[in-house]
Amino acid sequence: MNMGTRFIATREAPVHERVKQAIVAATELDTRLVMRPLRNTERVLNNDAVERLLEKERALGKELRFEHILEEVAGVYPKIMLDGDMDAGVWSCGMVAGLIHDIPSCKELIDRIMAEAESLIRERLQGMLASSFVSL
């Protein structure tokens, strides 16, 4: 289970509130794939820096080098995650952002995941048992 984006949007995550709010506000259509020509693909939340990077990818094509996109990718995480400068650069964010609608505590999130898993398992086991008795 990949939960990086989900855990960024928790109360305990040591990131700026703007980052958390951006994840909550995002839909699954608000992410982009970048750095594919460099064979270093990353899914990121769209912003001005992402659009600049994608334009460089289009313009440079096979000539694109990491040096061309340093401004958008190098050293940007502190500016985004700590300072809340949402257009400082590109930052990883999964499509799951479209399913994130709140900022719970880690405990609340884990309790919710466990309750949903237990419910799902219980329902499937009951379904398996019911179908077993029918076939007898």
pLDDT, tens digit only, all 136 positions of the chain: 789 999 999 999 999 999 999 999 999 899 999 999 999 999 999 999 999 999 999 999 999 999 999 999 999 999 999 999 999 999 999 999 999 999 999 999 999 999 999 999 999 888 777 776 665 5
Phi/psi at 57 (5° precision): -60, -45
Are residues 80 and 91 in contact, defined by beta-carbon separation less than 8 angstroms? yes
